[in-house]
Amino acid sequence: MKKVVKGIVSGAFMLAVSQAMAADDLTLQLKWVTQAQFAGYYVAKDKGFYEEEGLNVDIKPGGPDVAPVQVLAGGGADVMVDWLPSALAAREKGVPVVNIAQPFARSGLTMVCRKETGITKPEDFKGKTLGTWFFGNEYPLYNWLSKLNLPRDGSAEGVTIQKIGFNVDPLLQKQADCITAMTYNEYWQVIDAGLSQDDIVVFNYTDEGVATLEDGLYALEDKLEDPAFVDKMARFVKASMKGWQWAKENPGDAALIVLDNDATGAQTEKHQKRMMEEIAKLLGDGPALDEASYQQTVDTLLQAGSDPVITKKPEGAFTHAVTDKLK
C-alpha cells in the first residue's frame, strides 16, 4: 500500500514538474504603475489562471517615464497594455503594433480644472496651462486641442502643456489650471486631497465627443505570423479575461491582490477597491475589439484639425486571430 501511495505522490510530483517545465514564458508590459487598472492580470496570476493555461507570466509595471511601445518594440515584452491613439501613432511612425484584444470598452479619461480659473467650457483652455502624462498618454489631449484649434505653443492664443507624474499635485499647488485625470484614479485623488466637486470643473472626453479606446492588448505584427505565438496569446487573453471577471465579482479581494504586487507601497486599500469598482464600469462583455468603436476612434483622430495624431487611415492595426480562437 505504501508503495502505491508513494507511486501516486511521485507521479503527481513528476506531472507538476513536467507542467512547470512546459510552461511558456510571457512578459506583459503595463501602461501605468501597479494599480487596479490592471487588476485582471494580477488576479489571473495570483489565482493560477495563467498557470492553468500553461503560461509563466511576468508583469512589468509602467509609469510616467515608461513608454510601453518602446518596451515592446525593443523586445522587452511580448504583449503590452496601451491606448489605441498611442498604438496607432506608433504604427504610423513605423512600429508595427497590432491590437489583439480590447478588454476595456469605454473611456475613463477626463480633464479636471479648478473652477477659480474661470474655465467653464473647453474653449476656455486658451491661455491656460494643462497638465498631462507623456509617452503616448498625451495623444488624446493633443487630438482634442487640435479639434479646438488651440496650438500647444504656450501663447495667449494657445495652451501651455505641462508634463505631470502620477499624482495631482500640479492642480493642488496651482502649477496647472487643469490636469488629465481618469474617472477611476486621479479624479478621486483630487477629491481625497480636499477639493470638493464645487471647487472643480470636469470635462469628460466621452461627453465632449473626443473619447478614444483605452487599455487594449497589443503585440508586434511579425510575431503574430507565428501560429504558436497566436496560440500563446489566445491562452493569455483567455486567462486574463477570467481574471477580470473574478476581479469584477470580488473588487475588495482584487484590490488586496493588487496591493500585494505594489512594490512602492504607495497605494491604499480604500483607493484600490474604489478604483476596481470604477474600472468595472469600463470593461466590455468580451475581449474582442469592437470594430465600430475602433472606427470611431480612427475618425476622431483623423478629424482633429491641423495637427492630428494620425494623418491617414491605418491598415492592419487590429486582428481577431487571437480572440477568434476563444470562440
**Domain spans of the chain, in order of start:** 2-106+213-324, 109-204
The pLDDT of residue 197 is above 50: yes
Please give the average per-residue pLDDT across 116-124, as a whole number: 97
Say if CB 308 and CB 143 are below 8 A apart. yes
> In this structure, are strands 24-29 and 55-60 parallel, antiparallel, or unpaired?
parallel
CA-CA-CA-CA torsion sign (188, 68, 58, 266): negative
Q: Residue 212, Cβ neighbours under 10 Å: how many? A: 25
Query: Where residue 8 falls among pLDDT bands split at 50, 70, 90?
Result: low
Residue 264 vs residue 214, higher pLDDT: 214
Q: 129-153 pLDDT, tens per residue?
A: 999 999 888 999 999 999 999 999 9
Nearest-angstrom CA–CA distance, 216 and 40: 13
Say if CB 79 and CB 236 are below 8 A apart. yes
* CATH topology classification for 2-106+213-324: D-Maltodextrin-Binding Protein; domain 2 (3.40.190)
Q: Which grid coordinates are listed for 255?
A: 484590490
What integer pLDDT is reported at residue 166 of this predicted model?
77
Q: 199-232 pLDDT, tens per residue?
A: 999 999 999 999 999 999 999 999 999 999 999 9
Question: What is the enclosing helix (H) or strand (E) of 96?
Answer: none
The pLDDT of residue 287 is above 80: yes
Please give the average per-residue pLDDT across 114-124, as a whole number: 97
pTM for this model (two decimals): 0.88
What integer pLDDT is reported at residue 15 of this predicted model?
46
The pLDDT of residue 5 is above 80: no
Q: 74-92 pLDDT, tens per residue?
A: 999 999 999 999 999 999 9
Question: What is the enclosing helix (H) or strand (E) of 65?
Answer: none
CATH number given to 109-204:
3.40.190.10
